[in-house]
Structure 1
Amino acid sequence: MKRGLAVLAAAAMLIGLLAGCSGEQSAEAEKTKDGKVVVDFWTFWGSETRRPIIEKIIDDYNNSQDKVFVKHTFLPWGDIWTKNLASVAAGNPADVIVNDINTVAQRAENKQVEDLSEYVDGSFKQQFYPHLWDTVEHEGKTYAVPFNTDTRLLFYNKKAFEEAGLDPEKPPATWAELEEYAQKLDVKNGNKYDRVGFYPLWGSLGASSWMINADNGKGFIEDGELAINTPKKVEALNWILDWKERLGEKTVQAFQAEFGSEQSNPFIAGKVAMWVDVGTFYTQLRDYGQDVEFGVAPIPAKEEGKGNWSEGGGFVVEVPKGSKHPKEAMDFIKYLTDVEAQKYWAVKNYDNVANKEAAEAALNELEGPDKMVYEASVKNLDQTKMFPVPVEYPDYQSRLNPHIDNALLGKTSPEKALKKAEEDIEKMKK
């Protein structure tokens, strides 16, 4: 009997979760006592750094007009999109949600997001970086608005450069220079490394990004055609394996075992002299690496003049399918992506915002290392490419990545791995 009651209670809790997953206040009422329409805004920004920032922007919007009240609902990173899909299916979604920038077309194709075309015009679109706006359109219609993006930079330890006899104002510009510098920056004690100059798979740049960098910025799917098994991408995988062979598997594994975050970050701890990461990595350096004298530079090009290509990601704000207040939701989205809110987000987070004027305005308010890093990241957007997931090849990464991993683990050759990956992904085409 008790077991039966427990099952019923659990079922009731699950039903309640699905029915109420758009947030407590929006479930209770669609309007406030003074008649404002309640717009439920879902984000995963719950950290001590970001939550106060987004909530100030929300408060500023709520105080700026008397028709809409935005309620912030925080959901953890691992839950927000699963619950979004459940709420759309249940017909009780949020009104605005932060979502992945490279999968907008997938959600549009699956009718999980509202068409916002009637709310935007040419002048609105022109506020944003063109390569970001391209990600929010599908078959000529607009399904989201870009909020922020990212790009990868090479962070390097100037003091380590000086110790190694390198000019701290001249970071490596090519892959060949990167290898040369790294070997000079290595510090060995017998057979053990006390410091590693560089390793391409540490930081936030994976094998696929190096393959794109090597292939002159060409992604794995270009204009509907597969570009996986190309000579340059094969060459890039072999290049990564050469690094692993030089340092040794034991060295790579030993260093990775010590990796943590913040103070334990190997670049901050002085155990790695060059490190590729997103611009917001600077917040860790600012807070935990005050003694680290560093510089930033674009990712080295495969060869001189071939481009310092970086792979970009980011987030959009969109209206889930079935929202009861799409007009009011879009009014808030326009505020959230306008100059003032975007500038505030940029200045507080050193994050690449989507609004071009806001990004430039943020530079005028920053100074010192803050400005140096943010200016480098804004400039780097010119050589940053987005790779939206094509609707013809949904979730192609899940088939590509295991083949890349097999090559890096020595289970197969890069040539065979990419040939097999291209064959497998070709079968996905609708």
Structure 2
Amino acid sequence: MKKALSSLVAIVLVFMIFLTGCGNLIGASTESEQRKDGRVQIDFWSFWGSETRRPVIEKIVDDFNKSQDKIFVKYTFIPFGDIWTKELAAVAAGNPPDVVISDLGKLKHRAQKNQVENLGPYVKNDPSIKDRFLPQAWEAVLYNNEPYALPFNLDTYMLFYNKDLFKEAGLDPDKPPKTWDEALEYSHKLDKKNGNKYERIGFYPLWDAGPDIWMVNADGEPYFDKNDKSMIADPENAEALKWIKKFNEKYGLNTIDAFKGEFGQKQSEPFISQKVAMYVKNTTFYTQIRDYGKGMNFGVAPLPERKPGSGHYSWSSGFVAEIPKGSKHVKEAYEFIKYLTDVEAQTYWGAKLFDNVANKHANDKILAQLSGEAKMVYQAAVDNLKLSVMQNMPIKAPDYDKFINPELDQALRGSKPPEKALQDAQAAVLKQMAGQ
């Protein structure tokens, strides 16, 4: 009996500690109804807590609070790995925060699950708001033709290349590879070996870029169209896998794995340390070159296309500002996310962090503040966003990648023909979508 009582007391104590320590993260603060200045307090969560990003978002919040006297925003940082789990728990508990920065890719799934507020009624009274955004960014926040968030930022992948190494290899430093065949040809010329060991690899397409990026690049089509029709097994996707396999066969998987194992950060980052001559990265990578690759002679270009005329398509995703379902202050939260995505806040964010924002007018203002290499890269990124494709997540298969990625791995390691791997992946995803 004493043992059972002790166990019960322990459970109660643990539960009380949990509530005391985590209460503010499970739901929104109760202070919103207690402000003496009469303002409505809204709780804003994001994962921006680094020494570079946190001061920027806190400045934007502070500017908003000073810009009017009706609403006060309280900012809370929650680590990237925890924020959305805690948000969903708070929504389920009926006491969510009022604004959360969430990933764009799964927004439609959250909308379908009724986990976020429909902003349609607010946008209808503010019809010009969609005109501030890049078209593909606005399209991405629509579910059943209704907006469920406002776009915040986007990314795009491009080819960075070392101009000095191009000269060393006898290549024109102003002419990066235009096609997949040229990329493979250039890689041979840019390789550097000491005996049987590679000291430098000219190009490997899967370092910091997944095969899904190259399958989008192949024909400008994601895995699924806007109606959730699967295009996983399209023949162009098989071509992409076959092309990547050529690099695996050229270098050998052991060399690729061993080479990657030596990669570091900052000055030791492989492109900056000149261990790799061409590299596919998100364009914010420029900030690492700027900070750790002083004097580096580099260029940036669209991804090489599958064949002449097929298109230099890239892959894109990003983050949105959304209002979780059950917010007690939806009207005030909407006013804040309008501010977050308007020109002033977006210009400040993008200029400080060299980040492509969803507000197209802000991108123009950011460009006007830049010069030299920074302006060159940012302009290239803005132009590349026109070629960038958003991955549509099927409502009935939000975890589709767990069926696709193992098949891609088998294809790239040579244990299954690419066509067969893609057919098997598509069959597995369609089975899940059918509820089987």
Q: TM-score range by the shorter chain?
A: over 0.9
Q: Which moved more, 1:353-362 or 1:231-240?
A: 231-240
C-alpha distance 405-14 of structure 1, shift in aligned 2 (>3 A): farther
The answer to whether the 8 Å contact 2:27/2:95 transfers is no
**Partner SS, residue 275 of structure 1:** strand
* Cα distance, 1:282 vs structure 2: 1.0
Unaligned 5+ segments in structure 1 are none
* Cα distance, 1:35 vs structure 2: 1.3
The answer to whether the 8 Å contact 2:228/2:393 transfers is no
The answer to whether the 8 Å contact 2:156/2:314 transfers is yes
The answer to whether the 8 Å contact 1:156/1:296 transfers is yes
**Aligned pair 1:319/2:323, yes or no?**
yes
Matches within 5 A, 1:49-60: 49-60=52-63
Matches within 5 A, 1:2-17: 5-16=9-20
Q: Which moved more, 1:272-281 or 1:116-125?
A: 116-125
1:162-186 CA distances to partner (integer Å, 9 max, x unpaired)?
1111111111111111111111110
The answer to whether the 8 Å contact 1:62/1:68 transfers is yes
**Aligned pair 1:411/2:376, yes or no?**
no
From 68, 71, 74, the equivalent of 2:74 is 71
Q: Which residue of 2 aligns with 1:252?
A: 256
1:128-149 CA distances to partner (integer Å, 9 max, x unpaired)?
0111111111112211000000
Q: Which residue of 2 aligns with 1:114?
A: 117
* Cα distance, 1:260 vs structure 2: 2.6
The answer to whether the 8 Å contact 1:115/1:141 transfers is yes
The answer to whether the 8 Å contact 1:39/1:95 transfers is yes
**Aligned pair 1:43/2:46, yes or no?**
yes
CA RMSD of aligned residues (A): 1.5
From 122, 134, 142, the equivalent of 2:139 is 134
Matches within 5 A, 1:83-122: 83-120=86-123, 121-122=126-127
Q: Which residue of 1 aligns with 2:207?
A: 202
* Cα distance, 1:390 vs structure 2: 2.2
- Once residues 197 and 127 of structure 1 are traced to their aligned partners in structure 2, the CA distance between those partners, rounded to angstroms, is 41
Q: Percent identity?
A: 53
* Cα distance, 1:411 vs structure 2: 2.7
Give the letter aligned to residue 346 of structure 1: G
Q: Which residue of 1 aligns with 2:427?
A: 423
Q: Which residue of 1 aligns with 2:179?
A: 174
* Cα distance, 1:3 vs structure 2: 5.7
Matches within 5 A, 1:195-344: 195-203=200-208, 205-214=209-218, 216-222=219-225, 223-344=227-348
From 125, 143, 166, the equivalent of 1:161 is 166
Give the letter aligned to residue 115 of structure 1: N
What is the number of residues matched between the two proteins?
427
- Once residues 27 and 45 of structure 2 are traced to their aligned partners in structure 1, the CA distance between those partners, rounded to angstroms, is 8
**Aligned pair 1:20/2:24, yes or no?**
yes
- Once residues 22 and 337 of structure 1 are traced to their aligned partners in structure 2, the CA distance between those partners, rounded to angstroms, is 26
* Cα distance, 1:237 vs structure 2: 0.8
- Once residues 33 and 401 of structure 2 are traced to their aligned partners in structure 1, the CA distance between those partners, rounded to angstroms, is 40
* Cα distance, 1:33 vs structure 2: 2.1
Give the letter aligned to residue 377 of structure 1: A
- Once residues 13 and 273 of structure 2 are traced to their aligned partners in structure 1, the CA distance between those partners, rounded to angstroms, is 50
- Once residues 373 and 13 of structure 1 are traced to their aligned partners in structure 2, the CA distance between those partners, rounded to angstroms, is 50
From 69, 79, 83, the equivalent of 1:80 is 83
- Once residues 260 and 13 of structure 1 are traced to their aligned partners in structure 2, the CA distance between those partners, rounded to angstroms, is 40
**Aligned pair 1:400/2:404, yes or no?**
yes
**Partner SS, residue 79 of structure 2:** coil
- Once residues 16 and 70 of structure 1 are traced to their aligned partners in structure 2, the CA distance between those partners, rounded to angstroms, is 23
* Cα distance, 1:23 vs structure 2: 6.9
Unaligned 5+ segments in structure 2 are none
- Once residues 311 and 274 of structure 1 are traced to their aligned partners in structure 2, the CA distance between those partners, rounded to angstroms, is 18
Give the letter aligned to residue 385 of structure 1: V
The answer to whether the 8 Å contact 1:18/1:87 transfers is no
- Once residues 17 and 178 of structure 1 are traced to their aligned partners in structure 2, the CA distance between those partners, rounded to angstroms, is 54
From 384, 407, 411, the equivalent of 2:388 is 384
- Once residues 146 and 388 of structure 1 are traced to their aligned partners in structure 2, the CA distance between those partners, rounded to angstroms, is 15
**Partner SS, residue 221 of structure 1:** coil
